[in-house]
Amino acid sequence: MMKDFKQSILVSIWFVFLTFPLMAVRVNTTEQVVEWRWMSMVWVAIATFSLSYAWRYLLARKQAKKNEEDISHGKLQLLMEDMGFRYKAMGLLLLLALIFPLVFDTYQNTIMISALIYVVLGLGLNISVGLAGLLDLGYVAFFAVGAYSYALLNHHFGIGFWSILPVGGIFGCLFGVILGFPILRLRGDYLAIVTLGFGMIIKVVLENWSDFTFGPSGIANIDKPGLFGMDMNIDSSTTYIYYIMIALVVFTILITNRLKNSRIGRAWIALREDEIACVAMGIDMARTKLSAYALGAFWAGMVGVLFAAKTTFINPASFTFMESAIILSIVVLGGMGSILGVILGAFILILLPEYLRAFSEYRMLAFGAAMVLMMIFRPQGIISNIRTKYEYKKLTEETEHG
C-alpha cells in the first residue's frame, strides 16, 4: 500500500513537470504579461495522483482475485451447461426481440437493425479469428461482395432480394476460398498484412471499375425485401427488415454453435492453439484454413445483401478498413470464440456510441478509455470462451459388478 502511494506521488510530480509549460504559463497578448496559473497545476497533481493510485489499486485487486475468478469461472461453466437455464434465457431474449418493434419507434428499430447486422458480421469473423485463430483485417471485403452482388444483379436484371440472399453468401464464400489459397503458409503479422491488403484491393476495385460498379457514385434505388408483392411504407418496411434480421441472427447462432462443437470446429480450435501440433496430429491444415475463411465469409456475404436492401444505396465508402476494425473489436471485446460474448460486444460497440450522442464531444474519449480498461483488466473479453472438458472417471467395483 505504501509502495503504491509513493509511486503515485512520483507519477504526479513527473506529470506536473511535463505539463507545466502548458498548464501553468499563459501569455496575455493584450496586456503583454505572463500569467501564472498555479491552481491549475494543483488540480493536475491531484487528478494524476488519484488516477495513478486508483489504477494501481485495481491492478492489485485483479491479482488478488485471480483464484476467485477461477472458482467463479467454474460456477459459470456449470450454469451455462445447465440446459434448462440456457433454454429459458434464450426464450426470454427471443421474446424481447420479437416485441421490440412493437414497443419502440422506427428510429430505434433502424438502430437495432444496424446492431444485428454487426452481430452476424461478428459471428462470422469469430469463426476465422476466434475459433481458428486466423487474424483477418480485410473481412469487410466479403461484406462488400455480398452487398454489391445484390445491388448489381438487382440493378441490371431486376432479381429480387430472396433470390440473391443465398447467392450473396455463396459469392462471399468463393472469395473466402480465393483469399485462403495464397495465405495457407502464413501466420501472425504476415497473415494480417495480406488480409488487410485484400480488403484494400476490393475497395480500390469498387472505386475505379466505374463501368461495372459505378465507382464512387455508388448504386441507388436498390429494392427492399418484398412480401408477396405487398406495398409497405417506411415504418412497416423497417419492421419487416428487423424481423428478417432476427431470423438471420438466430439461424447464424444455431449454425455457428453446431460448427463450433463439430469435428471441423475442434480442428479450428486445434489450429488456433498450436498449428504445428495440429498438423502433426493429422489434421489437413489447408482444408481447415480454407473452411474457416469460406464459412466466415459466407455470413458476411449474406448480411451484405441485407445491408444493401436496408440502405437502398451503397458505395465504396461504406466498406472501409474502419469497418473491419470495428468487427474485429467486437470479437475481441466480446470474447474470442464465445458466441454470447460476440453478441454482447456488438450491442455495446454499436449501440453505446449511438445512445451517447448527447455527449458528442466526449463520447469517443469515454469509449476509447473503456476499451483500454477492458483490455487491461479483462483481456479475455466480456464473456470468455468456456472450453469443453472431458474427464475420465474410473468405475468403482460396486458399479462394475452392480
Q: What is the pLDDT of residues 281-307, one digit of tens each?
A: 888 888 888 888 889 899 999 999 999
Angle at 42 between CA 39 and CA 45, to 5 degrees: 155
Q: Is the dihedral of CA 197, 367, 13, 62 positive or negative?
A: negative
What is the architecture of the domain spanning 89-377? Orthogonal Bundle (1.10)
- Strands (DSSP E) contained in 16-108 are 25-28, 33-36
Other CB atoms within 10 A of residue 345 CB: 27
How many residues would you count in the chain?
402
Q: What is the Cα–Cα distance from 391 to 145, expressed in whole angstroms?
A: 45
Domain boundaries, the chain: 2-64, 89-377
Helix 66-81 vs helix 83-103: crossing angle, to nearest 10: 80
Q: Do residues 141 and 319 make contact, with C-beta atoms less than 8 angstroms apart?
A: yes
> How do residues 30-53 score in pLDDT, each as one tens digit?
777 777 777 777 887 888 888 777
In this prediction, the residues of the chain whose per-residue pLDDT falls under 70 are: 1-2, 4, 59, 62-89, 229, 358-364, 366-367, 376-377, 384-402
Q: Do residues 179 and 300 make contact, with C-beta atoms less than 8 angstroms apart?
A: no
Residues paired with residue 219 on neighbouring β-strands, in sequence order: 314
Question: What pLDDT does 263 receive?
Answer: 87
Q: What is the Cα–Cα distance from 140 to 178, expressed in whole angstroms?
A: 15
Q: Which run of H or of E encompasses 387?
A: none
Helix 38-64 vs helix 363-377: crossing angle, to nearest 10: 40
Question: What pLDDT does 183 receive?
Answer: 78
Question: What pLDDT does 360 receive?
Answer: 62
Cell of 375: 483490455
Q: Do residues 317 and 213 make contact, with C-beta atoms less than 8 angstroms apart?
A: no
Q: Is the pTM of this model over 0.85?
A: no
Q: Do residues 137 and 302 make contact, with C-beta atoms less than 8 angstroms apart?
A: no
